[in-house]
Chains A and B, each alone.
Chain A
């Protein structure tokens, strides 16, 4: 049980923090976002991929690399949780990231969070409490 709680906590916090850092990092280098993703073919070609990496200054982007490292730690926690708990427990529990993201957006990033989003978060909380109490 302790393994499960520790693993799950690392997985959830790592996912939110890692995604946040990668998002910050990619915003700084300006790519590849969903809009500019005409670049899939470019990213799959080693030659253009190398050009892209050079131009984007990705090698000096500490936020991006830290984000990737945090995601690796997240994956370790995910494995730890998976080792002791069922897939149908671990996977839906990852929806807790939405709660953490919303709190992060409202209180740390000072973004405007709509009431509807809080309603959604509340429903997720109800579902998660129910999930934890199922066998």
Chain B
């Protein structure tokens, strides 16, 4: 550590941690906590937004669209729905935290891991808060999709 500081004092300034990590494909030293916090925030906001969306169209909050002319009314009805507005705010927070996570961590790790954690977290939240029944078969199908998404993520993806 002391050695490191000496080097920078001698004019050999150490590489920018983010650049260094992008070169080596890892998460920059000293940025790990930042990365983990943004990643957890991405998962929490994405999964709770989906549960809120479902809640916002459940029961008497539902809208009806039987023809194209019903769309403006339905849109107005939904845009004044507090739960949906809350969901949209969470989605916006998710965009910002996802960009932050992508800046700190490698794409081929962040994208599949976001998929994996978000699907599982959403299913757990839907079970807990919406009383949705998630059968073993459905868990199995979700896991197979996750494996596929992870393989796609490993290819570097242009996502």
Contact = CB atoms under 8 A, between A and B. Distances in A.
A123 B119 contact: no
A117 B103 contact: no
Given A82-B57, A117-B155, A88 B145 contact: no
A34 B78 contact: no
B67 interface: no
Contacts, number: 130
Given A83-B62, A105-B158, A120-B155, A95 B145 contact: yes
Contact of B51 (A87, A95, A121): A87
Contacts of A91: 50, 118-119, 122-123
B86 interface: no
Given A111-B158, A135-B135, A121 B122 contact: no
Contacts of B138: 88-89, 131, 134-135
B155 A92 contact: no
Contacts of A105: 158
A40 B122 contact: no
A127 B53 contact: no
A32 B100 CA distance: 12
A89 B62 CA distance: 18
Nearest to B88: A75
Size band of the B side of the interface?
Answer: 35 or more
Nearest to B130: A87
Contacts of B62: 83
Contacts of B155: 114, 116-117, 120
Contact of A83 (B57, B135, B143): B57
B147 interface: yes
B148 interface: yes
Interface of A: 3, 32, 34-35, 37-38, 40, 76, 78-80, 82-83, 86-92, 95, 98, 101-102, 105, 111, 114, 116-117, 119-128, 130-131, 134-135
